[in-house]
Structure 1
Amino acid sequence: MTDLFTAALDQHKAGNLMQAERLYRTVLAENPDHPFANNNLAILLRVQRRWEEAVACYRRALNANPEDAHLYNNLTCVLSDMGQDAQAAKVGMLAVSLRPDYAEAWFNLGNIFRNLHATDAARGAYHRAIRLKPDMGEAHSNLGDLHKSAAELTRAMECYRTALRLQPHLPQPYVNLGEVLKEQGRVTEAITLLQHGLEQHPHLPVLHSNLLFALHYSPHVPPEVIFRAHRHWGERHAAPLAPAVAPSFSNDRDPDRRLRIGYVSPDFCGHAVSCFLEPLLRGHDRGAVEIFCYPTSRRRDETTARFQAITGHWFPLTGLLDEEAVERIRADGIDILVDVAGHTCDCRPLIFARRAAPVQVSWLGYPDGTGMAAMDYRLTDAIADPPGVTDRWHMEKLVRLEDGFLCFRPLRDTGFSPDLPAHRNGHVTFGSFNNNAKISAEVVAVWAALLQRVPDARLVLKSRSFADPTTHSRYSALFTAQGIAADRFELMLHTPDQGDHLRAYDGIDIALDPFPYNGTTTSCEALWMGVPVVTLQGGHHVARVTSSILHRCGLDDLVAADTNSYIDIAAGLAADRDRLAALRRGLRARMRNSPLCDPYGFARQVEQAYRRIWRTWAEGPATGPGDPVRPDMDMHA
C-alpha cells in the first residue's frame, strides 16, 4: 500500500494527474480513510472544480486524523471556492487553534474574513501570518488590499512594495500598486509601473487591462496610441481564444422576432454604471426584447434587488470559468450579448473573446473600445464619437444613437436647494466631485488660473482618495504652487451615503469638468442638483462625454474648445449670478424633459439599433459578421 501511494505521489509531482488520480483511488479502494491519499486526491479534484467530491475526501481524511491542521486548512480553501465562507471560517479557526503557528492557515483565514467583509478580523489574520512568516509576500499584498479599500493609500503602497521586494514574481501587487498610484493622482508613475509589471507577466489580462484604463487619465497619451494598446491587448489575450471554426448558432434568424438580449456586468449594484443601466432595463419593451442579466461580481445591495425585480432572467457568472460562462450564455440562446464593463474592475472580456453570442456589443461602462475583433459593435453617439474621426480608433463598428448614448437615473431620489450658494456665501464656489485621478497637474493649472481670474471665488474638490494624508498634501501643494492660498480651496472626503453625496452640491455654484477624462455620472449628478457644468471638449470619446450630456440639455454654450475659452466660460458664468440662479432653479426640469432622462425613448432607440444589427446578422451568410472563420490556433493559450 505504501509503495502504491508513493507511486501516486510521484505521478502527481510529475504532473501526470490522470494517472495520479487513478492510483490514489486504488489506494482508497483498499483503505477508504487513508488521510494522505484523501488529501492529495482532494487537491486534484479542487483543480478540476469537483468541489463536492473534494469536500467528501477531506471529511474522510479528518475522520481518520481529526487533529491534522493541514487537512482543516485545505478544507477551508475548498469551502471558500464553493462560496461557503461562513462555514470555511469555522473550519479555518479549527486549523489555527490546532496550530497557532500555522502562517498559511492564518493567511487563508484572512482571505475568508475579507470575503465576509469582516475587515478587522481579516487585518488581524494577515498580521498574524506576517508575524509568523515575515517573507510571505501574498499576505503583505492582501493586507495592502484592505488598506486600499479603506483609502489608506500610502499604507497600501508600502504593503505592495514590500510584497514585490519579498516575492518579485507575484503579479497581484503590480496590479494593485498601479491602481494605488493612479488613485493618488500619480498617473504617469502608475502607467510606468503597470508597463513594467506587464513585462514580467505578459499573459495576465487584468494587469494589461489596468494599463489600458490608466492610459485614459494621462493628458500626454494621444488616442491613436491608446487604440494601438487596446488592439495589442486583443491580439495577445483575446485572439488566441477565438474559435478556430465559427460556432454554429441555432438562433432563429427571423429578423422581426422578439430578441433575447444579455447584459454582462459587475455593476448590478450601487455603482455609477447602474445610474445608466437601470433606466435602459426599466424602459425596455418586453414585447420586443427578453432580458437576461449576467452579474460578474458578488457585490449586492438594495440596487441589486431592484435589478432582479425588473429583470426576466438573472444568472450570476461568478464562480464560473470563462468557458463555463460561454456555455451558459449559449444555452440561453442569447441573440445579442452586451458588455457593460470593458476593461474595468471585475470585467470578463474573455467571455466575449470566445464568441458567446452571434452578435456582441460594447456599451457604457468603459470610455473606449475593447480592442477585440470578437466585439462587433459599440453604442455611442455623434458628439462623443464624431463620424469619420474616432472610428479608426476602434475594432468595433460604431453605432451612433441619435439622442445620445446615455440615459440617467440617480441612485437616490434627493431633493435639491433652489437657492444659489453665491447669494448666501457672498462668493461663487466652483466644484468637482470627480475621482481625483482625473485631476492632473495640467487641470490644476487651468483651475488655478480660473481662481486668479475670479479672485473672490472658492474651489471645492471631493474625492475618496483625499482621506489619504499623502494624497491630500500632494493636491494641496499643487494648488499652492500655482499661487492659490489654502483658504481658497477645500479637499472634501468621500461621502458614503448617496443622499449626503448629492446634497453636497447644495454648496456648489458651478461644476468644473476635468480633462482629458471627463465626468459622466458626476456631470449628470451636478446637473440634476441644479449645478451647471463647464467642460473642455477633446478629440476622443473619454474627452467628449460631458459635451454629449450638455447637448442633450441644450447647454452647448458651456462647452469649451480650448483652455482659454474654458476659463472664459466659467468666469463669465460666475459673473452672471442671475443666469446662475435661473439655471439652478430650472436644470432639473430641463433634464427631466430631455432625452437624458427619458428611459422609454432611450430604450426605443437602443432597441432599434439592436434590431438593425440583428437584421445584419440574420440576413447574412451562415458564418456572417458575427461568426468570423478563424485559422487554426493553439486553443489552450
Structure 2
Amino acid sequence: MTPDIAAQLDAALAALKAGALDRAFSLAKTALKVAPDAEPAQTVAGLVFCELGLWQRAVDCLEKSLAQKPGAAKFSALGLAQFQLGRLKQAEAAYQAALQRRPDDLAGLIQLGKILTQRGKLEQAETINARALALAPQNAEVLSNLGYAGLAQLQPAVAADWFRQALAQQPGNIAAHDGLLMSLAYLDDTTLEDLRAAHLAYGAAMTQSPLSRRVDSGDPNRKLRIGFLSADLRRHSVAYFLLPVLQHLDRTAFEILLYADNRVSDDYTAKFQALADHWRLVNGRKDAELHRMIAEDAVDILIELGGHTAGNRLGALAQKPAPVQITWLGYPGPSGLPAMDWRIVDAVAHPWPISPGPDRPLFLPGGYHCYQAPQEAPAVALRPNGADIVFGSFNNAIKIGPRCAALWSRVLQAVPQSRLLLKSVNMASAMQRERLLGLFTEPERITLLDTAPDAAAHLAQYAQVDIALDTLPYNGTTTTCEALWMGVPVIGLRGAVPAARVGESLLLQAGLPELVAEDEAAFVAKAVDLAGDAGRRAALRQGLRGHMAASRLCDAARFAAAFGAALRQAWREYRSSQSPAG
C-alpha cells in the first residue's frame, strides 16, 4: 500500500473521530477503490461504514480484513454490524472472538450480554453480565443489562431494582427507563400513580426543545401525509393489527409513509412495502438522522407503534419532527414523551382521568384494535370427547407472575380433571422452566411448550386447548385474538392499569362480554362453569371463528373509517392551535 493511501486512511480515521462522517466516507471509499485488497483499507472502510449505519457493507469489509489479520477491535465492530442486521448468532461469535483477545473489554461484555439474553442463553448471559459487573459495578449500562436479563429470567421485580440502580447512576439512561416501565407493567402491585411517576421521569429525561417546524396554512381538509414508524413491519404481532388498517384506509384522504426500523424482513415486510406510498428503511440510522428524514418528508401526522418495547425510536421524536405525533398499538400505555400529542385507545382501556398535555387519549369508538388472522391459519380442530379439560396460555411467560399463577392454580384445584398448557419463548431454558413452575401449587399438572417453527404450527397447537386463561396484570393481545380465531374461548379479568384493560377491550370488540370477569372469584367461577359445560364448549369451538369474523374486532372497513376520522380530528385540533385565536 502506498504512502498516499496510508495517509488517506489516517485522514479518514481522524475525520471519523471528529464526527466528519461525509469526509470519512469519501476518503474511505477512495482508498478502498485504489487498494481494494489491502487490509488497512478494508478495516478503515468497515469502521466508517459501521458509524454510518451501512451494516452490510461494514460486514463485507471487516470479514475481508479479519481474514488477513484478526484483531479484537475488528471483531467487535463486526459483532455490532451483525447485531444490527439481526444476525444474533454471527454477532455472538464475533464478540466471543473479540473477548478471547481482550477478556476485560467492558463494551464487548456489555454487548455480548445483550445478545445472549436475546438469544435465550440465559445461563451464559448471567456469567457474562457478572464479569461486566465485577469490572464496573456502578456502570449504568451494565446495571441496565442486568435488568433486561432479569426480565428474560421472569423476574420483573428483580429487573426493576436493577433498572432503578442504573437510573441512580445515570438518570438519563433511556434504555433503563424503558426497561423500568416494562417491568412495572408486569408487576402485580403497580398502581396508576406508580406508572404516572415513571412515565413523567422518562419524559423529564427525554425533554428537548422542539426544533422549529412548519406551520400549515393550507386547506385543513387536504390530503394528509401519515407516517408510521415501527421496528416490527414484518411477521410480528403488530402486523396483524396494522395491515388491515393500511389496506382499508382512504387513500384519497391520506398518503402513507412507512418508516421500517426492521432488522429482518420477510413476506409481511413485502406486504407493507406494497401498501406504502413511500417506503423508508431506517434501521441503523441515528435519532437525529431519522428526525431529519421525517421532517424533510413533510409528514403531517407521525404514528409510532413501539412505545417502550424493544427497538422503539421514541428518541427520534423527542424534538417533534412532525406537527402531530401519536402513539398506538405496541405498548399498553402512554409514551411519557412530552412531544407526543396523542395516544390512540378506547374508553375501556384508558383508566386515567382525561387531562390536557402529552399522550391525550384519542378515543376510537368500539375498540382500538382490528385483527387480521394469518392466511395460513389452519382449520379449527375439534377436541376429543371425554378428554381432560386443558386450560392454556400462549402468552410470553413474563406475564405470569405470582398473582396470575395463584389464580390459575385456584382454577386447576376447582376443576380436578384438568391440566394447564403453557407455551412461551425460552422454554428450553432450565432456569426459566424452574422459575415458572415454582409459581404454581401443582406443577405436575402443567405442560410447557417452546415456540413453534412457524405461524401455522403455532396456531395448530390451540387444538390441544379447551379454554384459554388471560394473563394479569399484563393481558394478552395477539394471543387472545389467535385463541378466539382457533375456536378457544378466553376468560379475562377486568384490571386497574392500562395493560390489564386490553383483554376486556378485545373481548367486548369480539362480542363476548360474558367472558370478562369482574373479580378473581368470578374468574374462577367462569372457568369452572365453562369446563363443566361440554355442549357450550363444543358450540364455541365450532362457532367462534365465524362469530369473531363478523364482529367489530375484524371489521377492517369500519375500523379504518374510524381511524381516519380520528386522524382528521387530531389534525384539525392542531390547526386550531396554530391559529391566532388558538
Opposite residue 383 of structure 1, the aligned amino acid is: V
- Give the whole-Å Cα distance in 2 for the aligned partners of 1:562 and 1:611: 38
- Residue 121 (structure 2) pairs with residue 152 (structure 1): yes
- Give the whole-Å Cα distance in 2 for the aligned partners of 1:200 and 1:544: 34
- When residues 38 and 145 of structure 1 are mapped into structure 2, their CA distance, relative to the original with a 3 A threshold, is same
Percentage of identical aligned residues = 33
- Residue 400 (structure 2) pairs with residue 439 (structure 1): yes
Specify the SS of the correspondent of 1:581. helix
Of the three residues 506, 511, 514, the one matched with 1:557 is: 514
- Give the whole-Å Cα distance in 1 for the aligned partners of 2:304 and 2:23: 29
Q: In terms of mean alpha carbon deviation, does 438-447 or 177-186 score higher?
A: 177-186
- 1:90 offset after TM fit, Å? 4.5
Is the Cα–Cα contact under 8 Å of residues 231 and 371 in structure 1 kept in the other structure?
yes
- Give the whole-Å Cα distance in 2 for the aligned partners of 1:43 and 1:341: 31
2:485 counterpart residue number = 528
- Give the whole-Å Cα distance in 2 for the aligned partners of 1:149 and 1:47: 33
1:130 counterpart residue number = 99
Specify the SS of the correspondent of 1:360. strand
- Residue 580 (structure 2) pairs with residue 608 (structure 1): no
- Give the whole-Å Cα distance in 2 for the aligned partners of 1:181 and 1:412: 36
- When residues 88 and 330 of structure 1 are mapped into structure 2, their CA distance, relative to the original with a 3 A threshold, is closer
- 1:347 offset after TM fit, Å? 1.1
- Give the whole-Å Cα distance in 2 for the aligned partners of 1:135 and 1:307: 43
1:586 counterpart residue number = 543
- Give the whole-Å Cα distance in 2 for the aligned partners of 1:615 and 1:86: 43
Alignment of 1:196-595 (within 5 A): 196-237=165-206, 239-243=207-211, 247-386=212-351, 389-391=352-354, 395-419=358-382, 421=383, 423-424=384-385, 426-479=387-440, 482=441, 484-486=442-444, 488-595=445-552
- Give the whole-Å Cα distance in 1 for the aligned partners of 2:478 and 2:218: 37
- 1:333 offset after TM fit, Å? 2.2
- 1:84 offset after TM fit, Å? 4.7
Is the Cα–Cα contact under 8 Å of residues 504 and 516 in structure 2 kept in the other structure?
yes
1:24 counterpart residue number = none
Opposite residue 183 of structure 1, the aligned amino acid is: A
Larger radius of gyration: 1
- 1:94 offset after TM fit, Å? 4.6
- When residues 476 and 176 of structure 1 are mapped into structure 2, their CA distance, relative to the original with a 3 A threshold, is same
Q: CA RMSD in A?
A: 2.6
2:44 counterpart residue number = 74
Using structure 1 for the length normalisation, give the TM-score.
Answer: 0.85
- 1:584 offset after TM fit, Å? 1.0
- 1:114 offset after TM fit, Å? 4.1
- When residues 161 and 584 of structure 1 are mapped into structure 2, their CA distance, relative to the original with a 3 A threshold, is same
- 1:404 offset after TM fit, Å? 0.6
- When residues 429 and 44 of structure 1 are mapped into structure 2, their CA distance, relative to the original with a 3 A threshold, is same
- When residues 84 and 236 of structure 1 are mapped into structure 2, their CA distance, relative to the original with a 3 A threshold, is closer
- When residues 548 and 50 of structure 1 are mapped into structure 2, their CA distance, relative to the original with a 3 A threshold, is farther
Is the Cα–Cα contact under 8 Å of residues 462 and 491 in structure 1 kept in the other structure?
yes
- 1:159 offset after TM fit, Å? 1.5
1:34 counterpart residue number = 7
- When residues 285 and 113 of structure 1 are mapped into structure 2, their CA distance, relative to the original with a 3 A threshold, is closer
Q: In terms of mean alpha carbon deviation, does 374-383 or 409-418 score higher?
A: 409-418
- Give the whole-Å Cα distance in 1 for the aligned partners of 2:356 and 2:156: 22
Deviations 1:446-467 (A, max 9, x none): 1111101000001000000222
1:9 counterpart residue number = none
- Give the whole-Å Cα distance in 2 for the aligned partners of 1:435 and 1:47: 44
Is the Cα–Cα contact under 8 Å of residues 38 and 60 in structure 1 kept in the other structure?
no
Q: How many residues align structurally?
A: 581
- Residue 75 (structure 2) pairs with residue 106 (structure 1): yes
- When residues 91 and 425 of structure 1 are mapped into structure 2, their CA distance, relative to the original with a 3 A threshold, is farther
Is the Cα–Cα contact under 8 Å of residues 141 and 163 in structure 1 kept in the other structure?
yes
- 1:339 offset after TM fit, Å? 1.5
Q: In terms of mean alpha carbon deviation, does 167-176 or 224-233 score higher?
A: 167-176
- Give the whole-Å Cα distance in 2 for the aligned partners of 1:235 and 1:617: 23
- Give the whole-Å Cα distance in 2 for the aligned partners of 1:340 and 1:90: 32
- When residues 66 and 614 of structure 1 are mapped into structure 2, their CA distance, relative to the original with a 3 A threshold, is closer
- Give the whole-Å Cα distance in 2 for the aligned partners of 1:385 and 1:598: 22
Deviations 1:530-556 (A, max 9, x none): 111001111122101110111112211
- 1:622 offset after TM fit, Å? 4.0
Specify the SS of the correspondent of 1:494. coil
- Give the whole-Å Cα distance in 2 for the aligned partners of 1:567 and 1:211: 31
Is the Cα–Cα contact under 8 Å of residues 234 and 262 in structure 2 kept in the other structure?
no
Is the Cα–Cα contact under 8 Å of residues 35 and 62 in structure 1 kept in the other structure?
no
- Give the whole-Å Cα distance in 1 for the aligned partners of 2:22 and 2:225: 30
- 1:241 offset after TM fit, Å? 3.8
Is the Cα–Cα contact under 8 Å of residues 308 and 314 in structure 1 kept in the other structure?
yes
Opposite residue 418 of structure 2, the aligned amino acid is: A
- Give the whole-Å Cα distance in 2 for the aligned partners of 1:125 and 1:257: 51
Deviations 1:103-138 (A, max 9, x none): 222322333444556555444433332222221233
Of the three residues 142, 149, 163, the one matched with 1:194 is: 163
Q: In terms of mean alpha carbon deviation, does 441-450 or 120-129 score higher?
A: 120-129
- 1:568 offset after TM fit, Å? 0.8
- 1:624 offset after TM fit, Å? 8.7
- When residues 105 and 448 of structure 1 are mapped into structure 2, their CA distance, relative to the original with a 3 A threshold, is same
- When residues 175 and 278 of structure 1 are mapped into structure 2, their CA distance, relative to the original with a 3 A threshold, is farther
Deviations 1:590-614 (A, max 9, x none): 1111111011110000111111221
- 1:377 offset after TM fit, Å? 1.3
Point out where structure 1 has 5 or more consecutive residues left out of the alignment. 1-27, 626-637
- 1:334 offset after TM fit, Å? 1.8
- 1:83 offset after TM fit, Å? 5.0
Deviations 1:538-595 (A, max 9, x none): 1122101110111112211111111111111111111111111111111111111111
Point out where structure 2 has 5 or more consecutive residues left out of the alignment. none
1:181 counterpart residue number = 150
Opposite residue 402 of structure 1, the aligned amino acid is: P
Specify the SS of the correspondent of 2:306. coil
- 1:350 offset after TM fit, Å? 2.5
